[in-house]
């Protein structure tokens, strides 16, 4: 494949997409949503072949769950697209303005980010999310999915291309690299003449590879070792239901709960309830010595030296008992990937202290970590969940896929 040609096509498409009318972009996104519904049988057939091949290859259950497209997930994708289409168009928005003493009128105006190279594994829904967000924000995207989802991604990209062509936007606004050759990933990482940013979505090995080899800015995220701290004032019945949700609703994703920290004053009463409730859903546990002294049974194993630094992506939960909030914050600082961490408490002062002390992309108070998601936070969709500080943090929705330019207007003004 000629990556340089792909990059050149993406740049040309971006220049056209960036100046397209907002109504055109909205129609295109709605057309993609309709295509997901009309072409559902073809999508599911392609996806079933991917799932079957993944099972034969011995992929982990968490990865197989991520690549599976069910009717409910396709319905959710279509609904998210329609919600995204109705969101305000941020392009051209004046972020700030001022008039200087010399009469110059200064504006900072929101513009598209450019051409995005997105490298991802296992999750074909990412193909649709990024395509729609790119279109909505006037950007262009070059997508490189994993070989395990090649058939699903081809079917989804065909729907995107059909919509772009039907409405009149350049088909190359969204391009897909169908060749699984890993050398093409490294080539994309060095396509700095055409590509403005690289966004990897996958495991730590992929992120490290992108950081080490890219000549383009890289935005990393999506790896979550997520914590909840239950303090002594928490409503235990409500906390139990919330913990059950955070761990079991969809354990294979990055915002599912990995470690539960419990205040020592309630651990003797509360931890047995946690183990009893979650074990019914098939959860097993990795318990620290303090936690293991309280709970036991077939589902509970001693925590190994790396267990609290593991993103489980499965029905496994770490258990730890801490003396109080400072120790919980310290544990999170040592083991978190700064993705999604929270506190369950009845004391506003404790909540405030936790929020100020925990440095994560999203911090939760009496809410499930599963809400760290673009659609759930009202962003319409997301390209990724960034766990770094530049240029975006947390779910990357519409504002994070833009940058700005300065517009300076004068009256034939010259500098003195």
Does 30 share its domain with 104?
Answer: yes
pLDDT digits 0-9 by tens, 50-80 = 999 999 999 988 889 989 999 999 999 999 9
Number of domains in the chain: 2
Does 256 share its domain with 180?
Answer: no
Q: What per-residue confidence (pLDDT) applies to 329? A: 98
Q: Is residue 378 part of a domain?
A: no
Q: Is residue 133 part of a domain?
A: yes
CATH number of the domain encompassing residue 200: 3.40.605.10
Does 206 share its domain with 230?
Answer: no
Does 210 share its domain with 240?
Answer: no
CATH number of the domain encompassing residue 297: 3.40.309.10
Does 92 share its domain with 176?
Answer: yes
Q: Is residue 364 part of a domain?
A: yes
Q: Is residue 403 part of a domain?
A: yes
More confident residue, 354 or 396: 354
Q: Which residues of 165-203 are buried (b: 16+ CB within 10 A; e: fewer)?
A: eebebbebbbbbbeeeeeebbebbbebeebbbbbbbbbb
Mean pLDDT of the chain: 95
Q: Is residue 391 part of a domain?
A: no
Does 77 share its domain with 103?
Answer: yes
d(CA 50, CA 153): 10
Q: What per-residue confidence (pLDDT) applies to 307? A: 97
Lowest mean pLDDT among 45-49, 57-61, 148-152: 57-61
Q: What per-residue confidence (pLDDT) applies to 201? A: 87
pLDDT digits 0-9 by tens, 375-411 = 888 877 788 899 888 888 999 989 999 999 999 999 9
Does 148 share its domain with 187?
Answer: yes
How would you classify the pairing of strands 140-144 and 226-230?
unpaired
Name 199's bridge partners.
Answer: 118
Does 357 share its domain with 325?
Answer: yes
Does 293 share its domain with 197?
Answer: no
Q: Is residue 387 part of a domain?
A: no
pLDDT digits 0-9 by tens, 293-328 = 999 899 999 999 999 999 999 999 999 999 999 999
Does 129 share its domain with 57?
Answer: yes
Q: Is residue 122 part of a domain?
A: yes
pTM attached to this predicted model: 0.85
Structural domain range at position 367: 226-371
Residue 38 in tokens: 């009309």
To which residue do tokens 């779910």 refer? Answer: 395
């Amino acid at each position: 494949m000629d990556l340089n040609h792909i990059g050149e096509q993406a740049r040309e498409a971006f220049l056209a997409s960036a100046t397209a009318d907002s109504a055109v972009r909205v129609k295109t996104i709605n057309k993609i949503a309709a295509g997901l519904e009309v072409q559902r049988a073809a999508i599911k057939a392609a996806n079933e072949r991917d799932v079957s091949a993944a099972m034969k290859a011995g992929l982990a259950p968490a990865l197989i769950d991520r690549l599976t497209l069910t009717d409910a997930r396709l319905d959710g994708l279509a609904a998210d697209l329609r919600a995204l289409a109705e969101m305000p168009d941020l392009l051209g928005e004046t972020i700030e303005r001022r008039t200087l003493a010399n009469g110059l009128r200064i504006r900072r105006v929101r513009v598209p980010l450019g051409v995005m190279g997105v490298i991802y594994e296992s999750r074909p829904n990412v193909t649709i999310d990024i395509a729609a967000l790119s279109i909505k924000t006037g950007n262009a995207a070059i997508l490189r999915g994993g070989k395990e989802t090649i058939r699903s991604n081809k079917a989804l990209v065909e729907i995107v291309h059909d919509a772009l062509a039907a409405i009149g936007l350049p088909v190359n606004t969204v391009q897909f690299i169908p060749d699984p050759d890993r050398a093409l990933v490294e080539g994309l990482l060095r396509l700095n003449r055409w590509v403005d940013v690289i966004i990897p979505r996958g495991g730590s090995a992929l992120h490290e590879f992108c950081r080490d080899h890219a000549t383009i800015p890289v935005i990393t995220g999506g790896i979550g070792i997520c914590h909840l701290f239950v303090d002594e004032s928490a409503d235990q019945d409500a906390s139990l239901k919330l913990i059950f949700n955070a761990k079991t609703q969809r354990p294979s994703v990055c915002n599912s709960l990995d470690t539960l920290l419990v205040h020592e004053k309630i651990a003797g009463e509360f931890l047995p309830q946690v183990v009893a409730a979650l074990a019914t859903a098939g959860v097993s546990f990795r318990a620290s010595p303090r936690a293991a002294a309280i709970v036991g049974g077939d589902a509970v194993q001693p925590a190994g030296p790396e267990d609290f630094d593991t993103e489980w992506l499965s029905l496994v939960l770490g258990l730890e008992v801490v003396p109080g909030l400072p120790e919980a914050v310290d544990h999170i600082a040592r083991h978190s990937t700064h993705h999604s961490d929270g506190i369950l408490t009845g004391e506003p002062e404790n909540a405030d202290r936790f929020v100020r002390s925990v440095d994560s992309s999203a911090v939760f108070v009496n809410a499930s970590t599963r809400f760290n998601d673009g659609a759930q936070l009202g962003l319409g969709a997301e390209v990724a969940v960034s766990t770094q500080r530049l240029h975006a943090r947390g779910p990357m929705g519409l504002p994070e896929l833009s940058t700005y330019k300065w517009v300076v207007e004068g009256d034939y003004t010259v500098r003195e």
